[in-house]
């Protein structure tokens, strides 16, 4: 499905307030537990950009080995993040969609056929 490719993308550089703080916290976090703590604290304010950033950062910093990947995907806060992916996926631009797909592959996590269909669009 088209429509999403022209939507707002970017990294939230001009955002202020809570959204800007969330994006800044996510981009500076380098440990999976810190990224998951941000998800836990701010899930109610996550938009498509925050969601794509969070899962991408988790895959970057929480996938050194199989044990790390398992710890991330078993964490209840990762379940919260996958719910956010489902909720925000249709608002993601192509970069956000690619980040979600890459992160799921890196974490060896199957997000389900509906998520994959939406990404394939």
The predicted model gives 27-44 an average pLDDT of: 98
* CA–CA gap between residue 15 and residue 56 (Å, rounded): 20
The predicted model gives 90-119 an average pLDDT of: 96
pLDDT at 9 over 70: no
Q: Where are the domains of the chain?
A: 13-120
pLDDT at 5 over 70: no
Tens of pLDDT, residue by residue over 78-103, are: 999 999 999 999 999 999 999 999 99
Contacts of 6 (CB under 8 A, 6+ apart): none
Q: How many helical (H) and strand (E) elements, i.e. helices and strands, does the chain have?
A: 7, 0
pLDDT at 54 over 90: yes
pLDDT at 114 over 60: yes
The predicted model gives 35-55 an average pLDDT of: 98
pLDDT at 17 over 90: yes
* CA–CA gap between residue 91 and residue 65 (Å, rounded): 31
29 in Cβ contact with 58 (< 8 Å): no
């Amino acid at each position: 499905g088209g429509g999403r490719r022209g939507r707002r993308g970017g990294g939230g550089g001009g955002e202020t307030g809570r959204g800007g703080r969330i994006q800044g916290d996510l981009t500076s976090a380098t440990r999976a537990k810190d990224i998951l703590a941000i998800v836990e604290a701010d899930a109610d304010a996550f938009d498509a950009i925050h969601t794509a950033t969070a899962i991408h950062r988790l895959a970057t910093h929480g996938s050194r080995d199989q044990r790390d990947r398992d710890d991330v995907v078993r964490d209840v806060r990762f379940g919260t993040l996958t719910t956010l992916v489902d909720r925000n996926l249709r608002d993601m631009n192509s970069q956000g969609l690619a980040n979600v797909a890459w992160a799921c592959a890196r974490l060896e996590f199957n997000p389900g056929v509906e998520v994959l269909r939406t990404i394939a669009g």
